[in-house]
């Protein structure tokens, strides 16, 4: 079993590689276009403004994409909303985390996800997951999502997506506008851009898989009940069989359960295999 600290070290290494690519993009722009004021302004807008816009839009579209509504603080129609609020408050106190806005949605399958930052987070929980989980299992899911906020996972993933887009753009410029600058160069540049973005995406998805293991471990630590988290994953996996998320793939990547994939798709999967997550939790 890979320890919690080792997982965070792996995330730091992969994150450093992505940050190195970010600096390489900035270096290319400065080398190619100089260090004049207009270039520096455009570079700042691209390197800072683009991730900020992507973060804000991504948060809005994720919540809107599942039709989430603010979760009531009282029990309604058999849903234990009051218990969810109390558990969230207790966990936030332990994690020294500001309580996020809690929202409820119908996702077509049992799931949950978190977006935002430590001081401005949102946790969306599906009605389907409330219906199938016991209280201690649901508390494990809440702790998992709070761990994502505490570890700034959403911010890191947005930065990674920005890097992939910027690296692809720079690759296209370098390839397409070198040499003859004809239709063949444009096509080659487009293909090279896709390959470059794919390579960055592999690193990004590696971070995504590691962050799930770390969030599982954090949830087990703060609830002091790794078995409840393991049971929750088992029930979620069983409850998701034959069902599809009523949201885009970008939202699925944020969720606690990302579905099962084939061998090749595992390289680009945002989540590790559920059985491995359960195995790690049961070994704690």
For residue 55, CA distances in Å to 52, 58, 68 come to 5, 5, 18
User: Is residue 47 within a helix (H) or strand (E), and if so which, with residue range?
Assistant: none
Q: Which two tokens stand for residue 263?
A: 């061998």
User: Is residue 184 within a helix (H) or strand (E), and if so which, with residue range?
Assistant: helix 183-223
User: Is residue 113 within a helix (H) or strand (E), and if so which, with residue range?
Assistant: strand 112-117
pTM: 0.80
Which value, to the nearest 10 degrees, does the dihedral of the CA atoms of residues 64, 57, 110, 149 take?
A: -130
Q: What is the pLDDT of residue 138?
A: 96
Question: Which of 44-48, 52-56, 233-237, 269-273 shows the highest mean pLDDT?
Answer: 233-237
Q: Which two tokens stand for residue 60?
A: 């809005």
Quote the CA–CA distance of 141 and 87 in Å, as a whole number. Answer: 11
Phi first, then psi: what are they for 121, rounded to 5°? -100, 165
122 - beta bridge partners?
101, 115
Please give the residue that has the higher pLDDT: either 98 or 48: 98
Quote the CA–CA distance of 253 and 270 in Å, as a whole number. Answer: 6
* 273 has a pLDDT exceeding 70: yes
Long-range contacts (CB closer than 8 Å, 24 or more residues apart) made by 257-265: 257/109, 257/110, 257/111, 257/233, 258/212
Q: Which two tokens stand for residue 206?
A: 């590696």
Q: What is the pLDDT of residue 229?
A: 95
pLDDT band at 206 (very low <50, low <70, confident <90, very high): confident
Q: What is the pLDDT of residue 203?
A: 80
Note whether 131 and 112 are within 8 A (CB): no
User: Is residue 112 within a helix (H) or strand (E), and if so which, with residue range?
Assistant: strand 112-117
| Predicted confidence (pLDDT) per residue in 133-181, tens digit | 999 999 999 999 999 999 888 877 777 777 788 788 878 877 877 767 7
Question: Which of 186-195, 225-234, 241-250 shows the highest mean pLDDT?
Answer: 225-234
User: Between β-strands 112-117 and 120-126, what pairing exists: parallel, antiparallel or unpaired?
Assistant: antiparallel
| Predicted confidence (pLDDT) per residue in 93-140, tens digit | 999 999 999 999 998 889 999 998 888 899 999 999 999 999 999 999
112 - beta bridge partners?
125
* 14 has a pLDDT exceeding 80: no
Tell me, yes or no, if 145 is annotated catalytic. yes
Quote the CA–CA distance of 277 and 267 in Å, as a whole number. Answer: 17
For residue 233, CA distances in Å to 50, 139, 236, 248, 255 come to 35, 12, 5, 21, 12
Please state, rounded to an integer, the average pLDDT across all residues of the chain: 81
The active-site residue, picked from 128, 137, 139, 145, is: 145
Quote the CA–CA distance of 42 and 129 in Å, as a whole number. Answer: 45
């Amino acid at each position: 079993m890979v320890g919690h600290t080792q997982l965070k070290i792996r995330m730091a290494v992969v994150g450093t590689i992505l940050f190195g690519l970010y600096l390489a993009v900035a270096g290319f722009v400065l080398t190619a276009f100089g260090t004049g004021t207009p270039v520096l302004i455009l570079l700042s807008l691209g390197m800072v403004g683009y991730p900020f816009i992507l973060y804000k839009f991504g948060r809005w579209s994720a919540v809107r994409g599942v039709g989430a509504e603010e979760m009531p603080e009282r029990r309604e129609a058999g849903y234990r909303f009051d218990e969810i609020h109390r558990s969230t408050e207790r966990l936030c106190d332990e994690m020294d985390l500001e309580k996020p806005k809690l929202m409820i949605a119908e996702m077509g399958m049992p799931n949950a996800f978190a977006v935002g930052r430590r001081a401005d987070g949102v946790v969306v929980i599906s009605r389907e997951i409330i219906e199938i989980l016991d209280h201690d299992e649901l508390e494990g899911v809440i702790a998992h999502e709070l761990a994502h906020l505490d570890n700034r996972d959403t911010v890191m993933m947005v930065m990674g997506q920005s890097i992939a887009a910027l690296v692809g753009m720079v690759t296209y410029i370098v390839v397409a506008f070198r040499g003859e600058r004809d239709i063949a160069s444009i096509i080659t540049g487009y293909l090279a851009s896709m390959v470059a973005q794919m390579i960055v995406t592999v690193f990004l998805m590696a971070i995504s898989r590691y962050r799930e293991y770390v969030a599982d471990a954090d949830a087990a630590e703060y609830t002091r009940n790794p078995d409840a988290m393991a049971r929750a994953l088992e029930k979620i996996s069983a409850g998701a069989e034959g069902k599809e998320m009523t949201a885009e793939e970008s939202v699925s990547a944020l969720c606690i359960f990302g579905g099962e994939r084939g061998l090749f798709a595992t390289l680009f999967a945002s989540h590790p295999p559920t059985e491995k997550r359960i195995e790690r939790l049961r070994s704690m």
